[in-house]
Amino acid sequence: MINESALLESKSLRGSVLERTDVLDRVKALSLLPDGMHVTTAMVATYFGVTIEVIRQLTKRHREELDVNGMTVLRGADLQKFESDNVSLSLGSYPQARRSLTIYSRRAVLNIAMLLRDSEVARQVRRYLLDMEHLARTQPVENPTATDTGSLDDRIDQRLTHILGKTVVPMFNALIETSGEHRRELIELRQDIENVERKLCWHHSRLRTLEGEAPTDAVRAQLKAMTWQAFERHVADLLQRDGCTDVVVRQARTDRGIDITGHTADGRTLAVQCKNRAGRSSVPSADMQKFAGAARAVGRADVALFVATCNFSSEAQAIADLSGVITVNRDELEEWSAGVRLKALR
């Protein structure tokens, strides 16, 4: 894999990845001027955590390259119009008139990230760029046959779930929390992504059915054959598939009602109780009371999840609703195991 310092030295290598401006927001939110396209020198310095003078010296050394990639110096009438439309709205009025103003496109900011040595944010951008480039170059291209369509589809589903859980969903969650003006659009876009995910899972199930296997029956049989230890590991695998991190299976009788701990993809603490009770019709209220108390008083979890291979009694469900415990019954568990992302983890 190419070392990230190569981007500092090779102009041609920098040029090959300049279209990946989305990387900037994946590393750190880039604030733009009201035109939604440009930033000032001060805003570039803030993004990279360096002084304005550092950015000015860098632009002097690489003026020609940055000019090609979207750095512009405004003067005269162009400057007056741009300031009246953008800068004065976002930065306030200036005590004296400017002679010139340097602005940068997102492409120019990415170019600076590949030239700036003494910035941790710039280093993260370079590493992210090279990771994406390495993945694009090394990802194998296969021509599936009728016999391996199922396994290829599984790999696609797993890859998609990993990408959604690790990058896309956390990014939209963070943006929704900090955005005011575009909150509604971001929520709708996140819902669109979730709809695509559900459709992919549906198509996967259809493929399995056409190949002679009923997914629900297969999942149900698999769950029924699990020991309680295997079931806890299975739930932990599902959590990791959906982007959870630091997932730990306790598998001890002294767990105080918490079988699995971890963090959701957006950083919330997670406590999980697993009940493999194929021979029981429902989870009783006593089990729910024990877990609700442990999750809130002992574990202090942000998300308390009770997963069972059966249904919940009406009393147990009422306690869950009152205490904020999220229940996953048999039908929901089968859908989750078949590939549908659990709503509570989005």
How far does CA 337 lie from the centroid of its chain? 21
pLDDT tens column, 133-154: 666 666 554 544 444 445 555 5
Of 47-51, 85-89, 94-98, 270-274, give the lowest mean pLDDT range. Answer: 94-98
Residue 301's pLDDT is 83
Strands 260-263 and 245-249: antiparallel
Tell me: the pLDDT tens digits for 306-321?
A: 999 999 999 999 888 8
Tell me what the mean pLDDT of segment 38-52 comes to. 93
Which of 54-68, 76-90, 217-231, 320-334 is the least confident region? 76-90
Query: What mean pLDDT do residues 289-305 have?
Result: 81
Does residue 157 surpass a pLDDT of 80? no
Report the length, in residues, of the chain.
Answer: 346
Interatomic CA distance for residues 33 and 278, integer angstroms: 59
Q: What is the mean pLDDT of residues 196-215?
A: 60
The count of other CB atoms within 10 Å of the CB of residue 128 is 18
pLDDT over 70 for what percent of the chain?
A: 69
Confidence of residue 276 (pLDDT cuts 50, 70, 90): confident
Report whether 273 contacts 261 (CB < 8 A).
no
| Per-domain residue ranges of the chain | 6-134, 144-213, 225-345
pLDDT per position as a tens digit, 321-345: 888 899 999 888 988 888 888 887 7
Q: Give pLDDT, residue 190.
A: 67
Judge contact between 35 and 101, C-beta under 8 A: no
DSSP for residue 344 = G
Question: Is the backbone of residue 307 left (phi > 0), alpha (psi -120 to 50) or beta?
Answer: beta
Q: State the chain's mean pLDDT as an integer.
A: 79
pLDDT, mean of residues 294-311: 83
Residue 238: its pLDDT value, please? 93
Rounded distance between C-alpha atoms, residue 42 and residue 28, angstroms: 16
With a pLDDT cut of 90, the percent of the chain lying above it is 27
Query: Is the model's pTM score more than 0.85?
Result: no
Q: What pLDDT is attached to residue 42?
A: 92
Domain 225-345 in this protein, CATH class: alpha beta
